[in-house]
Amino acid sequence: MINDKKVLYSGMQATGTLTLGNYLGALKNWVSISDEYECFYGVMDLHSLTIRQEPANFRKNARNLYALYVAAGLDPEKNCLYYQSHVSAHAELGWILDCFTYMGELNRMTQFKDKAAKHADNINAGLYTYPVLMAADILLYQADLVPVGVDQKQHLEICRDIAERFNNLYGEVFTIPEAYIPEAGAKIMSLQEPERKMSKSDENENATVRLLDDTDTVIRKFKRAVTDSGNEVRFSEDKPGVSNLMTIYGCVTGKTMEEIEKEFDGKGYGDFKLAVGECVADELRPLQERYYALLEDKTYIEKCIKENDEKAQYFANKTLRKVQKKVGLTERIR
């Protein structure tokens, strides 16, 4: 708890341009809960190193991600928006927690298996111990809540296991985090393969709407979106394409599935896809305007980064010193 508020922690990797899935599944929800919790949001650049990065593009992507956080409505004075690599406590605690994590636990991580299959030429140790660094990210800030999608639940579970194991040995050092799962928009699917999650790395450009796509591009992608047999706008397991578009429309407009079904009763998929594309384009336009303005205001962004890095370092180092003392590391002479 900080200032009588529960602590909420999350972050995104500093690779590529954020998608509509990142926005509706996470970023938009983060903005809506900013007043309710003490929030820490990282630009997760250390995690991004499990895949080879081109240095200049990597730095640019990290900066752009930070600007998108702010452009989306995350106030840097209310939320702690910081670079993971600027807080060395992440790596230090990550190593300590490595020593409290079992090989069997890491072997069960399905995301490692998936990523190893995709990057067979670079199956590195960082990819394997990724969940431990993620646990360090969360536990450093004594997070009560972690917004997670369905595919991240396993990582939160191992984080809880590591924290409980450490607490059983050394006392109540870490807060045991709980999952925070929003009711809607938790998983936005590909526009071309609605059985798969929308991804920044999808090679099919028509599958993914990116936050910086212009209006014409957004509408064109929705017009090309895969639907299902028939022409009825109905939310159902046997209609994954239409259900995904309805989820997107509902997240943007605030309408329920029943209201959407009623709105498009008797209308075809063409009308529906155009309406979804137009409402998404309208939603993204002000975000894009703020984003490009922020990129021009380098002084403001750098001030935000400096102040928020310092705030993150304060809380992270507080936890790290406690952990170091508990495990018996020699205290630093200050």
Domain chopping of the chain, boundaries: 7-180+298-327, 205-292
What topology does CATH give the domain 7-180+298-327? Answer: Rossmann fold (3.40.50)
Q: How far is CA 144 from the centre of its chain?
A: 17
Catalytic, 298? Answer no
DSSP 24: I
Sheet holding 38-44, edge to edge: 80-83, 38-44, 7-13, 145-147, 178-180
Query: With contact defined as beta carbons under 8 Å apart, do 76 and 303 qualify?
Result: no
Neighbours of 326 (CB within 10 A): 15
E strands in the chain: 7-13, 38-44, 80-83, 145-147, 178-180
Sign (positive or negative) of CA dihedral 145, 146, 150, 152:
negative
Summarize the confidence of residues 286-296 as an average pLDDT.
96
Tokens 């452009």 sit on residue: 71
Q: 197 burial class (0-12, 13-18, 19+ CB within 10 angstroms)?
A: middle
Summarize the confidence of residues 258-266 as an average pLDDT.
93
How far apart (Å, rounded) are the C-alpha atoms in residues 130 and 47?
A: 7
Neighbours of 79 (CB within 10 A): 23
> Is the pLDDT reported for residue 230 higher than 90?
no
Helix (H) or strand (E) holding 235: none
pLDDT of amino acid 178: 96
Pairing of strands 145-147, 80-83: unpaired
Lowest mean pLDDT among 109-113, 191-195, 247-251, 255-259: 109-113
Query: What tokens were used for 150?
Result: 């369905």
Summarize the confidence of residues 266-275 as an average pLDDT.
92
What topology does CATH give the domain 205-292? Answer: Tyrosyl-Transfer RNA Synthetase (1.10.240)
Q: Return phi, psi of residue 139, to 5°.
A: -75, -25
Catalytic, 200? Answer yes
Helix, strand, or coil here: 176? coil
Catalytic, 262? Answer no
Q: What is the mean pLDDT of the chain?
A: 92
Q: Which of 28, 115, 239, 273 is catalytic?
A: 115
Q: Return phi, psi of residue 39, to 5°.
A: -110, 135
Query: What tokens were used for 44?
Result: 């997760």
> Is the pLDDT reported for residue 47 higher than 80?
yes
Q: Return phi, psi of residue 5, to 5°.
A: -110, 145
Pairing of strands 178-180, 145-147: parallel
> Is the pLDDT reported for residue 151 higher than 60?
yes
Q: Which of 6, 187, 197, 322 is catalytic?
A: 197
Q: 172 burial class (0-12, 13-18, 19+ CB within 10 angstroms)?
A: exposed
Query: With contact defined as beta carbons under 8 Å apart, do 28 and 58 qualify?
Result: no
Q: Which of 200, 255, 322, 326 is catalytic?
A: 200
Lowest mean pLDDT among 48-57, 161-170, 321-330: 48-57
Neighbours of 196 (CB within 10 A): 12
Beta bridge partners of 19: 210
Tokens 């890491």 sit on residue: 106
Query: What tokens were used for 72?
Result: 């989306």
Q: Return phi, psi of residue 18, to 5°.
A: -60, 150
> Is the pLDDT reported for residue 258 higher than 70?
yes
pLDDT of amino acid 114: 72
DSSP 161: H
pLDDT higher at 108 or 293: 293
